[in-house]
């Protein structure tokens, strides 16, 4: 008993030293799945312009960029976050369906990036590159395609959207043909770009901002143009239900939706544009969420087992 009391006292003292600090009166807590390199300068600018201190937490590819979504679910009974800035739409819709987001003006989308086919320009000429997702299952691309596990992140969302577009049967046949072509299944979209840039793979399925990052690094890559099978991925901003700093959150949300903010994100390569083009998949998100479990089960059966 004495041992336990000593232990508890010691731990308590150390915890007090570790930094319990009082809160600030004008502040906003934002959970940003938008990449830190892009988000941080914008949040700093908001802070300078309004005098509101921004306390930000960022997501990580180490937890498949769903760390913040999970965190919001766990904290729902006692929310710590005011604003959730996401760089894709599916998780935001899942959170809205669970009642994590504020009841009024639930969330808004802003800007877009897209899913792309990326090629190694030293190994494939643009004229000979596959022009559709169906053609990457051809034998000539066997062992030369890289993609992130289609059960995580935007790759999963893209696959689910394709299922809706093609129909379940055709989609499953395509998935099986893709798997039979022995693709490289890697941990994330940035790894896809590295694999293609290094020449381990000739073709990759990835996000446009990852391609932009690869080009900045000097990799010999190029992305193919948008098609009707490309998925457009919006940024979203939402106020959390029960947020402690509602007013500050609304100001931040409005700031993020401004055209100047969008232009900065576009210039940095985080977004491709502010208004989605006519091309790209048209997604029924409600139906996609309903089909999530069954589609995921098919993907597990094809790509994991």
Residues 226-285 that bind another protein (CB under 8 A): none
> Which of the residues 157 through 196 are near another protein (CB under 8 A)?
184-188, 190-191, 193-194
| Residue that has been written with the tokens 């976050």 in this structure | 81
Q: How far apart are CA 186 and CA 2, in angstroms?
A: 51
Position 291 contacts another protein (CB under 8 A): no
Residue number, 6 or 48, with CB nearest to another protein:
6
Q: How far apart are CA 274 and CA 258, in angstroms?
A: 10
Q: Which of 21, 51, 103, 139 binds another protein (CB under 8 A)?
A: 21
Do 41 and 264 touch, CB atoms closer than 8 A? yes
C-alpha separations of 85 from 67, 101, 187, 254 in Å: 13, 12, 23, 12
Position 1 contacts another protein (CB under 8 A): no
Least distance CB 68 / another protein (angstroms): 8
> Which of the residues 26 through 65 are near another protein (CB under 8 A)?
29, 35-37, 55-64
Least distance CB 167 / another protein (angstroms): 21
> Which of the residues 71 through 90 are near another protein (CB under 8 A)?
71, 73-75, 77-78, 80
Q: How far apart are CA 92 and CA 238, in angstroms?
A: 8
* Dihedral of alpha carbons 5, 7, 9, 12, sign: negative
Position 11 contacts another protein (CB under 8 A): yes
Question: Residue 287 is encoded by which pair of tokens?
Answer: 């139906």
Binding mask 144-163 for another protein (x = CB under 8 A): -----x-xxx--x-------
């Amino acid at each position: 008993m004495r041992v336990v009391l000593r232990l508890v006292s010691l731990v308590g003292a150390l915890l007090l030293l570790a930094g319990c600090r009082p809160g600030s009166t004008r502040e906003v807590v934002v959970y940003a799945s938008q990449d830190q390199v892009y988000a941080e300068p914008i949040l700093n600018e908001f802070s300078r312009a309004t005098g509101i201190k921004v306390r930000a937490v960022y997501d990580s590819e180490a937890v498949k960029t769903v760390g913040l979504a999970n965190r919001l679910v766990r904290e729902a009974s006692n929310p710590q976050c005011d604003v959730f800035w996401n760089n894709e739409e599916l998780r935001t819709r899942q959170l809205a369906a669970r009642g994590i987001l504020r009841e009024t003006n639930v969330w808004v989308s802003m800007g877009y990036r897209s899913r792309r086919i990326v090629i190694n320009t030293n190994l494939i000429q643009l004229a000979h590159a596959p022009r559709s997702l169906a053609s990457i299952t051809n034998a000539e691309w066997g062992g030369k395609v890289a993609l992130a596990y289609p059960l995580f992140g935007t790759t999963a969302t893209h696959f689910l959207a394709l299922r809706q577009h093609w129909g379940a049967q055709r989609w499953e046949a395509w998935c099986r043909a893709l798997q039979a072509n022995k693709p490289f299944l890697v941990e994330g979209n940035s790894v896809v770009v590295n694999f293609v840039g290094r020449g381990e793979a000739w073709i990759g399925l990835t996000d446009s901002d990852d391609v932009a990052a690869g080009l900045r690094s000097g990799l010999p890559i190029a992305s193919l143009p948008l098609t009707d099978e490309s998925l457009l991925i919006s940024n979203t901003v939402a106020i959390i239900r029960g947020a402690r700093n509602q007013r500050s959150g609304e100001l931040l949300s409005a700031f993020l939706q401004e055209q100047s903010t969008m232009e900065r994100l576009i210039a940095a390569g985080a977004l491709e544009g502010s208004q989605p083009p006519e091309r790209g998949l048209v997604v029924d998100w409600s139906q996609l969420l309903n089909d999530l479990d069954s589609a995921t089960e098919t993907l597990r059966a094809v790509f994991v087992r």
